[in-house]
Amino acid sequence: MRLVRIFDTTLRDGEQSPGASMNVEEKVQVARQLARLGVDIIEAGFAISSQGDFDAIKKISNEVEGPIIASLARAKEQDIRRAWEALKDAPKKRIHTFHSTSDIHLKYQYKIDRKEAFARSVEMVKLARSLVDDVEFSAMDASRTERSFLAEVVEAVIEAGAGTVNIPDTVGYAIPQEFFELIKYLKNNVRNIKKAVISVHCHNDLGLAVANSLAAVTAGAGQIECTINGIGERAGNCSLEEIVMALRTRADLFGADTKINTKEIMRTSRLITKVTGISVQPNKAIVGANAFAHESGIHQDGLLKEKTTYEIIRPESIGLHSTKLVLGKHSGRHAFRARLKEMGYELTPEEMESAFDKFKRLADQKKEIFEEDIEALVSEEVARSTPQLYKLAGLSISTGLNRPHIATVKLLMGTKTRQKKTEGDGPVDAAYKAIAHLTGTKSTLQKFEVKSITGGMDAMGEVMVIVEENGRTVRGYGADTDIIVASAKAYLNALNKLAVKRVKGEEMPRL
């Protein structure tokens, strides 16, 4: 059984999904979870693209242990030196440089010929190799590159010091048989190919990213580049959870596996959803809400008799539990702390006390506390790490059918408490108008999303908002059994983030 490396690019290519950008602390949080998941390489960002990306790569390099930490860099000297500056403290580091090789890219985007593209690629791999021992080169738009030229470039960059050569299907153009043949061609026609690991980076424009990646593994690829939940540019990337579980489930066919701890898959998927605000479609393979749901009477009958009749993956193998976590108002700190540790969360003593206090209040309102409730409480503690310029000190609502909707909001702003009573089109609108008046914000609400975290009449509700001000866009989160309170918390969380951005200034735009 050969091992295939997993190169996770959620923090780089995944972040290029519209609206999915993350701040430094969110990136570090995700990187820690990716390390628990067991990925081999974390592409932490694109160091030269923004100060935020540079800071995130540097912080991850210093704080996250286990995986190789990589930064993307164009085949330009300033990119490669900036990547080195961000990565230099990482125990295991990789510079990932790239240049287009397809004629369509060279003619219309770069406006150079093959000879110059070849020379740039080799020269910049040599520069990167002089700085770090681990260099990866990507031939952008490889699947539309003339094969003999692609082979020439691959052979030359390996000779120049690249230990990994990536063959991207950059625009999701390839089909599995074609991609299989491309990888085979390189294995048979690149003289020094055994000196490097062949990697593939497939996009999902035709819905074939996972299929193409599996075809490449069959042809001999040793590294797969992918993202959690398949997020990424345009239609997204190869989905980590799908490629990993396909190899694990059909090991008999592929004869290959990964080092991924699959029991961390669901937790990682949920974290990405929370951090990016991008929901997973219900019928998404592996991590979708319906992935292990059965409604058909025939299926239910078969499952009751033998689970393998209709389930090829055990839910427990990806971190779903066959029984729900049951914690209640009689549970103590020890049980609460132990369950948090089992779920993979490490809180400071102050965060622990705050989360436990909220847990006890919630337990007085609900008959049972589920794992999803605890995840929401912990997420709120993470959200509280944003400096709290505005704190919710009180909220009362007067509403009803054919009655005015009135909200009275009290905010703690520094050492002063201010209160405002406002009428709106509904209770949330009234509360938001009062908050906007008190804070003096000029922002606009772009998105408001509410969902039930758990089932039942006493379910906790979670609210996610996207707020924009002067070109700055942030997400805010709030959770509570009272959805109006959750809405207010989410709005204030976003406004606090905007306040921090105003102080720090805007990040350099992404290239």
Mean pLDDT (whole number) for 445-471: 81
pLDDT tens digits, 292-347? 665 444 555 565 567 777 678 888 888 886 533 446 666 777 777 777 776 667 77
Window from 302-316, 465-479, 496-510 with minimum mean pLDDT: 496-510
pLDDT band at 267 (very low <50, low <70, confident <90, very high): very high
What is the pLDDT of the chain when averaged over all its residues?
89
Would you state the pLDDT for residue 11? 97
Alpha carbon distance 3, 78 (integer Å) = 35
The pTM of the full predicted model, rounded to 2 decimals, is 0.76
Cβ–Cβ under 8 Å, residues 324 and 330: no
Would you state the pLDDT for residue 323? 36
pLDDT tens digits, 360-386? 888 777 666 666 677 777 766 665 666
What DSSP character marks residue 106?
I
Alpha carbon distance 126, 162 (integer Å) = 8
Of 117, 66, 64, 124, give the one whose Cα is nearest residue 95: 124
pLDDT tens digits, 230-248? 999 999 999 999 999 999 9
Q: Is the dihedral of CA 303, 305, 307, 311 positive or negative?
A: negative
22-48 burial, b if ≥16 CB within 10 A, otherwise e? bbbebbbbbbbbbbebbbbbbbbbbbb
CA–CA–CA angle 176, 181, 182 (5° rounding)? 95
